[in-house]
Amino acid sequence: MKYLLPLLALMVGPALAEPPAIVSAIATATGDTWRFDVALRHPDTGWDHYADAWEVLSPNGERLGLRVLAHPHENEQPFTRSLAGVAVPQGTDYVMIRARCLVDGWADTLVQVHLTE
């Protein structure tokens, strides 16, 4: 019985993990492509658990761009990273952006970004 509490704590731990949150996202037209500046917040704890990517999706869910985050940002929250050269199909009014955590995978929350030139 004395081992039950520590085991329960281990089982509950991952369920309490906070997904990466998109704080802001700005789309800028750059000729025929787009640049995205995305600010994320995530309780990075180091190399074993951090927000490791975000992606730009078309309205039908097709990946248009992927920004891999190469290291944790435990002392820089929120943090902003950019992705340029994203080709968006002509006539697209908006895209969706979602973030990923190294441990928990893709966040359920999608952020809609309207495209205005």
Q: Looking at the domain 18-114, which fold is it?
A: Immunoglobulin-like (2.60.40)
Digit-coded pLDDT (tens) for 87-100: 999 999 999 999 99
Ranges of the chain with pLDDT below 50: 1-15
pTM assigned to the model: 0.82
Sequence ranges of the domains in the chain = 18-114
The answer to whether residues 50 and 71 touch, using CB atoms and an 8 Å cutoff, is yes
User: By C-alpha distance, which of 38, 31, 47, 26 is closest to 107?
Assistant: 38
